[in-house]
Amino acid sequence: MLKSIVLKTSRDKSILQKHPWIFSGALAKVPAGLQNGETVLVRSAEGHFLALAAWSEHSQISLRVWSFDETTAIDQKFFEQRIGQAVRRRERLGLPAQSNALRLIYGESDGLPGLIIDRYADQLVLQILSAGAEYQRQNIYNALQNVLPGLPVFERSDVDIRHREGLKNRRGTIAGAEPDGPVEINENGLKIWVDVLHGHKTGYYLDQRENRFLLGTSAKGKTVLNCFSYSGGFGLSALQGGAAHVTNLDLSTDALALLDKNMVLNNFTPDRYTNVAGDVFEVLRGYRDAGRQFDIIVLDPPKFADSRTHLPKALRGYKDINWLALRLLKPGGLLFTFSCSGLLEAPLFQKIIADAALDAGRSAQIVTRLGQSADHPVLLSFPEAAYLKGLVCQAD
Ligand code: SAH
């Protein structure tokens, strides 16, 4: 028998609109003895059934909805259905044809809050981010192996946000052999090594795939400055598109070492690229003082804001790098600028770029607006799933 959590009067509005989160302030009655992650019935103050959800004891997001249908059993079959559905959605979009690396499960958007599953060629990587998904993990492991049999699965549940859910980090092999090094994927015809054991996220930034491809289409004969390069992404795409020269810039020497291997893997000769280990904020100032200019500049920084308290500092950071980049662009040059901070909404991001241009004394136009790849879809009832935004600006 599932226990029930009752909401306060008229706090059922968002859940009736199929939003999958309920915050702690909306709860009227929580039964004693609930386990962290346990499935509960959510009821309105009037006692009506609203949803089946997972209880998160330590988070501000107290409940994450598994189903709005009272007859659903949250068991292995349920996860098989949802995982199967998500895989088929991506197949219908023809996504595997672009790349053999893609996000198969994107949490709430695929009806599976707190669960990420990425596929890198024949290697699956799984990440559990919420108490509810953690509670169900054996069902999830089993379901995944039934839907996609025979593929090795590695778990990378080693991210800080798990602490907010009262969960410790976990990493290790779930099925098959542990990868013995980076996994080779193919993205739009580029070969790329992905470090699923130690790399960022689950190993690679799949969310930027379509934007990397777009950059490639504008890069012929151009000089490109690829800031926050990680393992090469945009730089590889630029060279594939015929760029004359790419400067890759990142703080992490591990990332640059992998980038170098990726350049070799694609037979890009060292005269076509330079790798610089350094801080974008400092290196760009150096380039400005030296009067260096580029045809195309990519700014793909890490998340500067992970909480509202950090937002003002993050905004200054975004403005600073964009101001610098705009000063380094040749007349007619293109700026590909991104923010992956979900807390920074698109209109404010655009305003920051506008302010940066004003301060840099450059007139520029937005020519394309960008978002996250189609394997990171945004469920209409969960707009929070949209986090990556980008602008391509042409400067006069
Ligand atoms: N564009 C990449 C992903 C970038 S992730 C792709 O398409 O795959 C962000 C990267 O920024 C990380 O590799 C991190 O090491 C780097 N980074 C973070 N802060 C930095 C700084 N201040 N200067 C330079 N690199 C930084």
Distance 202 CA to ligand 1 centre (A): 15
Cβ pair 97, 374 in contact under 8 A: no
Residue 208 alpha carbon, nearest atom of ligand 1: 7
- pLDDT on residue 223: 98
Distance 227 CA to ligand 1 centre (A): 7
Residue 300 alpha carbon, nearest atom of ligand 1: 1
Cβ pair 223, 239 in contact under 8 A: no
Q: Which residues line ligand 1 (CB under 6 A)?
A: 205, 208, 212, 228, 230, 233-234, 250-252, 255, 279-281, 300, 302
- What are the tokens at 261? 């291997």
* Sign for the pseudo-dihedral over CA of 40, 156, 187, 283: positive
* Catalytic, out of 340, 352, 353, 395: 340
Mean predicted confidence (pLDDT) in 1-14: 96
Q: Where are the domains of the chain?
A: 4-67, 76-175, 205-395
- pLDDT on residue 96: 79
pLDDT tens column, 203-242: 999 999 999 999 999 999 999 999 999 999 999 999 999 9
pLDDT value at 305 more than 90? no
User: Cβ contacts of residue 24 below 8 Å, gap of 6+?
Assistant: 59, 60, 61, 62
pLDDT tens column, 161-179: 999 999 999 999 999 999 9
- pLDDT on residue 63: 98
Cβ pair 56, 63 in contact under 8 A: yes
Residue 34, burial from CB neighbour count under 10 angstroms (0-12, 13-18, 19+): middle
Catalytic: 393? Answer: no
What is the second-level CATH architecture of the domain 4-67? Answer: Roll (2.30)
- pLDDT on residue 97: 83
Q: Which CATH superfamily is domain 76-175 in?
A: RNA methyltransferase domain (HRMD) like (3.30.750.80)
* Percent with pLDDT over 90 in the chain: 97
- pLDDT on residue 123: 98
pLDDT value at 306 more than 90? no
Sequential DSSP letters for 22-38: EEGGGEEE--TTPPTT-
Q: Between the CA of residue 220 and those of 37, 215, 241, 270, 385, what are the distances in Å? A: 51, 10, 6, 17, 34
Mean predicted confidence (pLDDT) in 236-255: 98
Residue 98's pLDDT band (boundaries 50, 70, 90)? confident
Residue 307's pLDDT band (boundaries 50, 70, 90)? confident
Kindly report the pTM of this predicted structure: 0.96
- pLDDT on residue 202: 96
Cβ pair 202, 123 in contact under 8 A: no
pLDDT tens column, 312-368: 999 999 999 999 999 999 999 999 999 999 999 999 999 999 999 999 999 999 999
Distance 19 CA to ligand 1 centre (A): 32
Any idea what the Cα angle at residue 135 is, between residues 132 and 140, rounded to 5°? Answer: 95
Helix or strand run (H / E) with residue 345: none
Residue 338 alpha carbon, nearest atom of ligand 1: 1
Residue 126's pLDDT band (boundaries 50, 70, 90)? very high
Average pLDDT over the chain, rounded to an integer: 97
Q: Which CATH number fits domain 205-395: 3.40.710.10, 3.40.50.150, 3.30.360.10, 2.60.120.10?
A: 3.40.50.150
* Sign for the pseudo-dihedral over CA of 154, 155, 158, 161: positive
Mean predicted confidence (pLDDT) in 30-43: 97
- pLDDT on residue 161: 92
pLDDT tens column, 367-386: 999 999 999 999 999 999 99
Distance 259 CA to ligand 1 centre (A): 12
